[in-house]
Structure 1
Amino acid sequence: MSHLLGMAIESLVAVLLMLTIGYCWLLNKRLQRLKADEHSLKAVIAELITATEIAERAIGGLKHTVRDVNENLGNQIDAAAAMSMQLKGQLAEGDNVVRRLSKIALAARPAEPAPAPTPAPAPAPRVSGARAVAAAAEAFTERRRASGLAA
């Protein structure tokens, strides 16, 4: 019986050793996959660091460009404001000259007697649109010439 008990214990130890070897083999496979994932993760991290550095340089360049554009735009706004003030002054001076010329023209014009009232025209027969516009333009021109405003 002791011999049988020894064989049972030895068999149990052999089975446990086989299970241990199988488990170690499974752990070895998982560790290999983990190492492979670690290498690919390191490559991804290196690429991410490179992309971050490129982005930081690009942001620095954009900040520099914005600063230059801001200075340039500020100078252009100042120049535009100065030109606007200059144009405003020139417009005011031109307005003044036009007023003075109109006063001179009014003073140089001879006084005319008031025009005699004209009788109301008889109703015109129906005329086409183009002829009506032409007739109205002629009447307007005659009135302007009569008052001395047309050249």
Structure 2
Amino acid sequence: MFGLSMGLFIEGAVAVLMALTLGYCVILNRRLARLHADREALRLMVGDLVTATNLANQAIKELKATAIEADMTLSVRLEEAERFGVELANHVNAGTTLMQRIVRVTNAARQAPAGQPMISAANTTDTLVREPNKVRAALEQLSAHVRSRGVAA
């Protein structure tokens, strides 16, 4: 009887171990199924990450191109502003020179002796009407002089 109870005990222990193994296999199978499902989700996530990275790289390239274009436009505008600044300085210098001449002429006219005739506005208007070619030539000569002064400054 001892042999029968020992055999029964071993058979029972094997049955319990097999039941535990079967239960563990079921649990392991569920975990593997979740792992496979997570792997698919991870694959989708990696695909989305690659797509987002490609979009970001494209956006960076476009930003670089825009920055280069903006830099070129800004450089052109700065050069144009510098040219206008130089031209404006030339005009200011020419205006200053012209104002100094006007001041000298008015000072000389104020200091002229009483016996010398002064040029009146009526005489100047008559001259402008009677001799337009002389006036036009004088104006051209004056503008040529201003241009030459502007280039020299």
The verdict on a shared fold, with TM-score over 0.5 as the criterion, is: yes
**1:17 aligned partner:** 18
**1:75 aligned partner:** 76
Per-residue CA deviation, residues 22-69 of structure 1 (Å, 9 max, x unaligned), is 001001111111111111111111011001101101110111111111
Residues 137-148 of structure 1: matches in 2 within 5 Å?
none
**2:41 aligned partner:** 40
Deviation at 1:79, TM superposition (A): 1.1
CA distance in 1, matches of 2:56, 2:13: 63
CA distance in 1, matches of 2:10, 2:63: 77
**1:102 aligned partner:** 103
Number of residues paired by the alignment? 111
CA distance in 2, matches of 1:54, 1:107: 78
CA distance in 2, matches of 1:19, 1:31: 18
CA distance in 2, matches of 1:102, 1:41: 88
Deviation at 1:99, TM superposition (A): 1.0
- Structure having the higher helix fraction is 2
Structure scoring higher RCO (CA < 8 A, sep ≥ 6) equals 2
TM-score normalised over the length of structure 1: 0.71
**2:31 aligned partner:** 30
